[in-house]
Amino acid sequence: MSESASAYAISVEDHDAVRVLFLDRPAKLNAFTAEGYRALRSRLDSAAADPRVAVCVLTGRGRAFSAGVDLTEMSRPGGSAELGVDFDPLLDCLARFPKPLVAAVNGLAVGFGATLLLHCDLVVVDRGAEIRMPFVALGTCAEAGSSWLLPLRVGLQRASWLVLSGSALSADGAVAAGFALASAPSGQALDEALTVAASLAAHSVDALVANKSLLREGYPERISAVWQREKAAMAAMAEKLGPIGWSAQQ
């Protein structure tokens, strides 16, 4: 696939009632631009509205799931502001996505590439993948509601270690911590995730939506409130340490 420096595609494959969304910017490790935020939100909205889709799988093309935000976008005039404007609607879309969302982590997942996984209902990780949240190393703070979602998923002590040390989480470590449901042999994360998704899609879409809503009652409002606190903390850090750009850890 040919791509410009800033182009960001989200490609789609349908497998019966399972829709696969591919972060499709492999030359840039699927690092997000504002265009990427808009494209992912659009694809998720379409999947949510399509009665033929019961389950959505999110994965990446190439050797990375996502390296987070494209830092070159932040260095261009107005880039940081544009990223900020387009990130909030995507985060709200993820928090409110009504159908099961399964992640197939095919490779590196860093920053928002990692915190995005906390918005997925089930996560399958390639045996060779690595998940990192380098907030502290970048002199900034947790983002995308992760300061609440991460302890909820893995417990406070493990979350504290991952955030405060910035240490990488391996596939086996992700499963052991409860961050992921399962690991997959190298190159088979998508196949394993499709198997998981198909088992869900065998059920009524209405039942899936109703039960996900019950499991995630109050999530959108809580995520929004936590994200506002995280943004305020980022701004305070930037004021102390000098500007590092909007949400640079993504």
pLDDT tens-digit readout, 37-76: 999 999 999 999 999 999 999 999 999 999 999 877 665 6
Single pTM value for the model: 0.92
Give the sheet arrangement for strand 130-132, strand by strand: 64-66, 108-110, 130-132, 169-170
9-241 has which fold?
2-enoyl-CoA Hydratase; Chain A, domain 1 (3.90.226)
Is pLDDT of 106 > 90? yes
H helix intervals, 125-243: 146-154, 156-165, 171-177, 189-201, 205-215, 219-241
Residues 6+ apart with CB under 8 A from 170: 129, 130
Q: Quick one: pLDDT at residue 250?
A: 42
How many CA atoms lie within 13 Å of 229's alpha carbon, on the beta-carbon side? Answer: 11
Boundaries of every domain in the chain: 9-241
How many CA atoms lie within 13 Å of 173's alpha carbon, on the beta-carbon side? Answer: 13
Q: Quick one: pLDDT at residue 78?
A: 54
Question: What Rg value do the Cα atoms of the chain yield, rounded?
Answer: 17
pLDDT tens-digit readout, 174-229: 999 999 999 999 999 999 999 999 999 999 999 999 999 999 999 999 999 999 99
pLDDT tens-digit readout, 8-48: 999 999 999 999 999 999 999 999 999 999 999 999 999 99
Angle at 112 between CA 154 and CA 104, to 5 degrees: 70
